[in-house]
Amino acid sequence: MTTENKNSASEQPLDDRAATRSVPPESDAFSQFMASNWAAPSHELPARAKVADFAAARRAKISSLFPGERLVLPAGPLKVRSNDCDYRFRPHSAFAHQTGMGLDHEPDAVLVFEPVEEGQGDHGSNHEVTLYFRPLAGRDSKMFYMDARYGEFWVGPRPTLASLSAEYGLRTADLSELEVAITKNAGNQALGGLRIRLVRDVDLNVDALVDTSRINTAVDLEESDKLDSELAVALSEARLIKDELEVENLRRSVDLTVEGFEEVIRALPAAVAHRRGERVVETAFFSKARTEGNELGYDTIAACGNNATILHWIRNNGTVDEGKLLLLDAGVEDDTLYTADVTRTFPVNGKFSEVQARAYNIVLAAADAAFEVAVPGRKFREVHEAAMKVLAKGLEDWGLLPVSAEVALSAEGGQHRRWMPHGTSHHLGLDVHDCAQAKKELYIDAVIEPGMVFTIEPGLYFKEEDLAIPAELRGIGIRIEDDVLITESGNENLSAALPRTVEGLEAWMAELSA
């Protein structure tokens, strides 16, 4: 290599290296040609989305908790999958909940709650809320055809500031105005500055902007971390009770998930024939999630035989074998980003063996007991406790426990948890494990209220290497998981369309396989 070439290579910025594989012409003639002869973009504004009013009510609730403070909620940036290829974008759930925006059209956007006089803000709240967003680049700009990450020529059209405002009922502003919006008048409250609270670890650039402002204005960073955490908790707790539209979204996600399970049953012959049959199962479900919804709500667990005893088995590279049980834990995330979370365990050949059916019926009885206490006025923790009582008694009756069920259920025991180590329920919504940052007294110790949506999912997991159980049980993993809406009078099983009993599952499989 000549000295000239060495210098040329070393002087090329690292973030420009991708340009070595695709370099468009830079002539004025090309730029003028690219900017000409395009159909005029439509200026027709979209109708106001149904979610707009619901999202406004959600924002007003958050606003009431933090009067006089600036709140910053980033959507998050695009994330690199490999080299210069990004993952499909999904906004942070707090941002999605507070805006009502789903899909993939707002990378780098930031929602800012600007404090005003109490009661003088949007919808009588304490804040005026603005969405800062990168607007569509005009076709007369080089970004249109040169920017492979944001240019319309490469990634398709983006909504305009006006269209987003019309559709979601939000005031909008160019992302270039964000820095001033976040930092103006910010500082130590004792010195007359305005306090900022930030949803952290979503967008590192926004984190750096806020942190720099705090450092420059003598704000205590340790105290600020605590304040930021309080905002994250409040945003999580705001999702504990679902509004009418959220329930509608979850119903749709569950219905699509049921259809996905049906596709899996139809694909079982192909799965049995394939060396990685679990991948065939996974793919059959994924097809439904992508064609009818937005995505998977989480990585599918398609686990046959002993793999079903691995709680978070997502490799899905095993065989699907006649005579074994298949555990499928999967959920469709629909276009609103709400996800279902359902599990069924069924025999690959369509018929439970006697041992499989006995183990399955213990889990089913535990689930039924949990449903009995999943009603308004009971404690959330009682759902788990009810399931554990039934599981412990079933294990005792089978002679598997080294102690009585009563001892196992005591604080000094716990032996039954060898075969059921996880919790029985978690909240469900925008995240598969929704509201996870809520305070203990509002989650595990909370009184169950109408509008809550959570799972009921007891299981039993007998590993092949477990010498504490008879050989006939080893390699059997069973979980039954349903999505449950708490109503004024009790509960509704949103996933009831999927059979839950041994007889019901066998008949369902026979019908779909006919």
Answer with the one of 237, 259, 276 that is the final residue of a domain.
237
* Confidence at residue 431, expressed as pLDDT on a 0 to 100 scale: 98
**Model confidence pLDDT, tens digit, residues 245-269:** 999 999 999 999 999 999 999 999 9
Whether the pLDDT of residue 28 is over 50: the answer is: yes
pLDDT of residue 1 exceeding 50: no
CB contact at 8 A, 110 and 175: yes
Mean pLDDT for the stretch of residues 476-500: 98
The answer on 147 and 62 residing in a single domain is yes
| Residues 233 and 250 grouped into a single domain | no
* pLDDT tier for residue 19 given thresholds of 50, 70 and 90: low
Domain residue limits at 189: 51-237
Indicate whether 28 belongs to any domain: no
Averaged pLDDT of the chain? 94
Does residue 4 carry a pLDDT above 90?
A: no
Residues 393, 421: Cα–Cα separation, whole Å: 16
Of the candidates 359, 315, 289, 342, the one whose C-alpha atom is nearest the C-alpha of residue 453 is: 342
Question: What is the CA angle 99-103-108, rounded to 5?
Answer: 65
438 occurs within a structural domain: yes
Six token digits for residue 51: 């979610």
Residues 191 and 255 in one domain: no
Say if residue 251 is in the same domain as residue 230: no
> What per-residue confidence (pLDDT) applies to 20?
60
Specify if 224 maps to a domain.
yes
pLDDT band (50, 70, 90) for residue 122: very high
Q: How many domains does the chain have?
A: 2
* Whether residue 26 has pLDDT greater than 90: no
Binning pLDDT at 50, 70 and 90, where does residue 84 land? Answer: confident
pLDDT of residue 258: 98
Looking at the predicted structure, is the pLDDT value of residue 10 above 60? Answer: no
Verify that 209 and 101 share a domain, yes or no: yes
Q: Do residues 230 and 266 share a domain?
A: no
CA triplet 73, 79, 83: central angle to 5 degrees? 160
Give the integer Cα–Cα distance in Å for 24 and 27: 9
Highest mean pLDDT among 102-106, 161-165, 475-479: 475-479
CATH number at residue 495: 3.90.230.10
Mean pLDDT of 412-423: 97
Mean pLDDT, range 494-503, rounded to an integer: 98
What confidence score (pLDDT) does residue 233 get?
Answer: 98
Residue 320 included in any domain: yes
pLDDT higher than threshold 90 for residue 213: yes
Do residue 230 and residue 262 come from a single domain?
A: no
In Å, the largest CA–CA distance within the chain is: 85
Do 211 and 257 reside in the same domain of the chain?
Answer: no
Q: Answer whether residue 42 is part of any domain.
A: no
> Where is the domain boundary, 237, 272, 307?
237
* Domain CATH code at residue 153: 3.40.350.10
**Is residue 136 situated within a structural domain?**
yes
Residues 157 and 296 in one domain: no
Per the model's pLDDT, the better-predicted residue between 135 and 487 turns out to be 487
> Strands 196-198, 295-296: parallel, antiparallel or unpaired by DSSP?
unpaired
What span, in angstroms and rounded, lies between the C-alpha atoms of 98 and 95? 5
- What pLDDT is attached to residue 23? 78
Q: What is the pLDDT of residue 155?
A: 82
503 in the same domain as 361: yes
The pLDDT of 76-105, averaged and rounded, is: 91
C-alpha to C-alpha distance for 209 and 418, rounded to whole angstroms: 48
Of the three residues 205, 237, 269, the one that is the final residue of a domain is 237
Asked if pLDDT for residue 138 goes beyond 60, the answer is yes
Q: Are residues 418 and 390 in the same domain?
A: yes
CA–CA gap between residue 230 and residue 204 (Å, rounded)? 19
pLDDT tens digits for 215-243? 999 999 999 999 999 999 999 999 999 99
Q: Per residue in 291-339, pLDDT tens?
A: 999 999 999 999 999 999 999 999 999 999 999 999 999 999 999 999 9
Is residue 32 assigned to a domain?
no
Q: Are residues 229 and 277 in the same domain?
A: no
Whole-number pLDDT of residue 16: 61
Using pLDDT thresholds of 50, 70 and 90, give the confidence band for residue 422. very high
452-459: average pLDDT = 98
> What pLDDT, in 10s, does the model give residues 286-297?
999 999 999 999
- Cβ–Cβ < 8 Å for 240, 438: yes
pTM: 0.94
